[in-house]
Amino acid sequence: MQNEYDVVVIGGGPAGLAAAIKSKELGLKVLLIENREFIGGIPIQCVHPGFGLHYFREDLTGTEFIYRLIEKFREMEIEHYTNAHVLEIIPHSYRHKILKVVTEKGLLNIMTKTVIYATGARERHIFEIGITGHRVAGIYTAGEAQTMMDIYGIMPGKEIVIVGSGDVGLIMARRFTLEGAHVKAVIELMPYPGGLTRNIVQCLEDFGIPLYLSHAVTRVEGRKRVEKVIITKVDENLRPIPGTEKELECDTVVLAAGLVPYLKVIEKAGVIIDPATKGPVVNSYLETSVPGIFVAGNALVINDLVDYVVEQGEEAAMGAYEFVKNEGLSTVKWKKLVKGRNIRLVVPHYVSEAKDVMIYARVAKPEENIKLRFPEIGKEMRLPFVKPSEMIRIKLRKRDIAKAEDKITMEVVPNE
Amino acid sequence: MKVVIIGAGVVGASIARVLSQYEGLEIHLLEKNADAGLGVSKANTSILHPGHEDEPDKYPLRAKLCIKGNRLWYQWTKELGIPAKWPGELMIAVEEEDMKVAEHYLELAQRNGVPGVRLVDHDELLKLEPNANPNAAGALWAPTAGLLSATMAAPALVENAVENGVRFHPETEVTGIKIEKGEVKGVETNRGFIEADIVINAAGLYSDKISKMAGIDYFTVHPRKGEYFIFDDDAEPKVTKIVHQTPTPITKGVYVITELNGGLMIGPTAQDLPEDAKEDTSTTREGLEFVWEWAQKLIKELPPRSMVIRTFAGLRPEPPDGRWIIDAYDDPWGFINAAGIRSPGFTSAPAIAYYIVEELIQGKLEIKLTRKSHWNPYRRALFFKSLPPEKQNELIKKNPAYGRVVCMCRGITEGDILDVINRMKRMGVKTITLDGIKMRTWPMVMAGTCQGSYCRIRIANIIARETGTPLWKVTLKGKGTEYGIGDIKVLLKEGVKENAE
């Protein structure tokens, strides 16, 4: 054992940096481990604005946002490894975990009381969404294309088709356009756009980029590089409608078909996964089902905004602090947050009256003029609309949580 | 004596390796692609067949060479550090009446001399393969079947052949064969003329075209497509054995295997394509649905569709009547065909190589060859992930690049990538491609859960750095498959230029 820490943060993106900074502020002995050669994670390559409106109350680019955290992290001289990879987390005892880490200096066994897992998400790729055809050059995930353009300064292609109208897809449509590429279309499987309204306007409408709703890319064709894609209309069950095939000539396909929490290492440690979020099941301290392993950011749930990611990083740090201080989180009666009508996912999964808790949820389908209701605690609020693309974030107060017996349902109902 | 081998797939590469054991030969191995094994050899089921599926009367060579090839691969995979395993194969009789088909193959096993084959009943089937279809009637059990890393095979063979003196010429396409007075004199290529006394055609899908250049034009080779699914490394259930079904008139059989990279794989289809579709390795909705439907009959359940991480298709070169064309000719003397090598060609490749060297070159052509006193059969390949911790630490101490994990899904380090790049350079590969690196790593890099969406750019960067190539010019598999189109401002600069004009 080379060393012993109060908390080891895995992942040096916004969630991990926020968690490490907060942990150090709370007086914990902290180590951060990052796989890449630099810290900062994905926001470094996000040269577009829209970051920090909640957290810094300023509109920043991703790069500006993350550099504020990076500078703070550096000023605080937080111990960290880059180019280091956690192979395994062994829950050695209730109080300690052993991390097996590959670094440039050799294999390390690191002992720690708690772990904050902040590894972010991976991108869904072409084979996961059932696109058939040729496996040729010119196919990228949006994140890969963004890394190419805004970290390494190279251009992926010229005639672009984007699959998926989530924020990532929309932002990449604009990004490609600004560099002189021709974005021929954004293709969306659902009957409504996947991204924020502001992004539909600022990234597509302002540039006259067509958006095909209820369409799928079913096939890629080309000899060496992409030459065209076949797009097809889909029915209400999202199945391709025969006879509606249409060809779009292009040299590049960019997949922005969604993100999935990247959990390889903690899955092996025995953490229970929620099939809805595809992230771990957590309590209000963002502690997973393995005591002392916390999770934050897109590894927990896919967020819309980096501001929420940072907030979760800080929350996990406070959880780790409680855990270290009390040698484990106090035993409380956990009340389950239950998904009611039109709620597709919600985190955390368990709350208690020991503390206020921020909850993050997504609806299954868009709805207008509704009430968001928590019947067991008599709480409700009117909203003009809810959309799957816009995460709902609200605080539940401990005095409200106290009103519930063993569960709190969250539901969307029409406002009558 | 000068020998030219056309095609560095697993057949050509095996021939090169066997020939490299003999003295006094100048051997040139020509490949039109950027690397060895990028054609037929790369995309298949990767099974080393036991040898009980070929009728000895109809296909004597196939029957004889498959069983011999199976034995040779046992030795070759060890010598060459090619990952392999020998789980044995179950030909499942789904219905009671399919047992009759199984019996037919039992008889073939006897006639071909395949060891250990026997019929097993329902209970023993489920003991051998607990995840088999619980309603199956029984199976034919062939314990000598194996699996290897098909993608690594041809590159490893060529690497070893080059180590033993063979000259590898990638990106070299044969455009003609020079024949004088009924004797082969050499080959014309896009890179110039190469003299040869013997020319061996192992050009896979294009072996008919090469044969025509030598005036032997009585056959054509058409592509037969096979489509596959691969599931994520942790998708369940898996199989421990190689599982397929008793052949029917509709299909020779979809296989279910746990491939060497760790994930379940199902396939293939067998779709005949027109002669000119020799590059059509596209997947199709229909083909994939067929595979899914048939694979379901073999095991108790398939993992969920959401656990699929890759679909792919490969082509097999199909000769007329399924008969391999392996022969030497009086006219033109010196020309040897190893053409239309369809299944079980991968398994048989080492045996085909010995057949050509012993029966055709030394036998039919009566050329006397002498074995070298020193020949190195070994290729040592280390993969960080499969080493014990002490060895891993040693490697990192020697080269810190082994401490940098590049591919998180499969734990491949920068050290592994650098080792592969050096091997490629030593072997004579001119263009270091992303596919070339993928094929030589184990488990395969850029082929796990995220399919390279995280690590492909990191590996492209390593290639760029190690070869002095601009990042955008790094290719997936040679010219025309560049990673990018230029510097980030390339389109804007073009636009400005056009404006000025």
The reply to whether B37 and B152 lie within a common domain is yes
Rounded alpha-carbon distances, angstroms, from residue B330 to A234, B153, B194: 62, 33, 22
pLDDT tens figures, B316-365: 999 999 999 999 999 999 999 999 999 999 999 999 999 999 999 999 99
Rounded mean pLDDT, A207-227: 98
A119 in Cβ contact with A9 (< 8 Å) = no
Tokens 């073009």 correspond to: B494
- Catalytic site residue from B28, B49, B52, B169: B49
A window 56-75, beta carbon within 8 A of B = none
- Residue found by looking up tokens 């390796």 in the block: B17
Cβ B109 vs Cβ B63: under 8 Å: no
Say what the pLDDT of residue A1 is: 47
User: Counting beta carbons within 10 angstroms of the beta carbon of residue A378, is it exposed (0 to 12), middle (13 to 18) or buried (19 or more)?
Assistant: exposed
Are the beta carbons of A264 and B405 separated by less than 8 Å?
Answer: no
Catalytic annotation on B374?
Answer: no
Q: What is the mean pLDDT of residues A156-178?
A: 97
Q: What is the DSSP string of B84-108?
A: EE---EEEEESSTTHHHHHHHHHHH
Q: Which of A105, A134, A158 sits opposite B485 (nearest CB)?
A: A158
Among A299, A308, A309, A274, which residue's Cα sits nearest to residue A289?
A274
Is the minimum CB–CB distance between A213 and chain B shorter than 8 Å? Answer: no
Confidence of residue A354 (pLDDT cuts 50, 70, 90): very high
Are B369 and B435 part of one and the same domain?
A: no
A276 touches chain B (CB under 8 A): no
Look at B396 and A104 and tell me if their CB atoms are within 8 Å: yes
Q: Do B41 and B176 sit in the same domain of this protein?
A: yes
pLDDT at residue B253, rounded to an integer:
84
Interface test with B, best of A135, A146, A179, A266 (most B CBs within 10 A): A135
**A154–chain B Cβ distance below 8 A for any pair:** yes
pLDDT at position A3: 65
Q: What is the CATH number of the domain that holds B354?
A: 3.50.50.60
Per the structure, how many domains does chain B have?
3
Residues B489 and B345 in one domain: no
**Interface contact flag, B457 A152, Cβ < 8 Å:** yes
Q: What is the pLDDT of residue B499?
A: 80
| Per-residue pLDDT at B498 | 83
Does one domain contain both B302 and B330? no
Q: Kindly report the backbone phi and psi dihedral angles of residue B186, in degrees, each rounded to the nearest multiple of 5, phi listed first.
A: 155, -175
Domain boundary among B318, B342, B359: B318
Chain B residue whose CA is closest to A120: B454
SS3 category, A232: strand
Mean pLDDT of A248-252: 98
pLDDT for the residue numbered B496: 82
Same domain, B174 and B231: no
Q: Are residues B396 and B357 in the same domain?
A: no
% pLDDT > 90, chain A: 98
Report the distance separating Cα A327 and Cα A155, nearest Å: 51
A388 touches chain B (CB under 8 A): no
How many contacts (CB atoms, under 8 Å) link A and B?
141
Length of chain A: 416
Q: What is the CATH number of the domain that holds B129?
A: 3.30.9.10
End-of-domain residue from the set B357, B381, B405 = B381
Write out chain A residues lying below 8 Å of B490, CB-based: 155
The pLDDT of residue B215 is 97
Residues of chain B with pLDDT under 50: none
Task: Tell me, yes or no, if A348 comes closer than 8 A to chain B by beta carbon.
Answer: no
Model confidence over A289-332: pLDDT tens digits?
999 999 999 999 999 999 999 999 999 999 999 999 999 999 99
Size (chain B), residues: 501
Closest chain A C-alpha to B457 CA, distance in angstroms: 7
When pLDDT is averaged across residues A216-223 and rounded to a whole number, the result is 98
CA dist B195 and A10 (Å) reads 60
Last residue of a domain, one of B333, B349, B381: B381
d(CA A354, CA A329): 11
Range of the domain at B431: 384-500
Q: Look up the pTM and report it.
A: 0.96
Same domain? For B324 and B446 the reply is no
Same domain? B180 vs B303:
no
Written as six digits, the tokens of B358 are 């012993």
ipTM of the complex model: 0.96
Place of tokens 């004088």: B180
Strand B308-318 versus strand B222-231 pairing type: antiparallel
Could you tell me if B334 and B452 lie in one domain? no
Selection from A146, A142, A144 nearest residue A164 by Cα: A142
Locate A318 and state its tokens: 């406070």
B410 and B420 co-located in one domain: yes
Answer yes or no: do B138 and B93 share one domain: yes
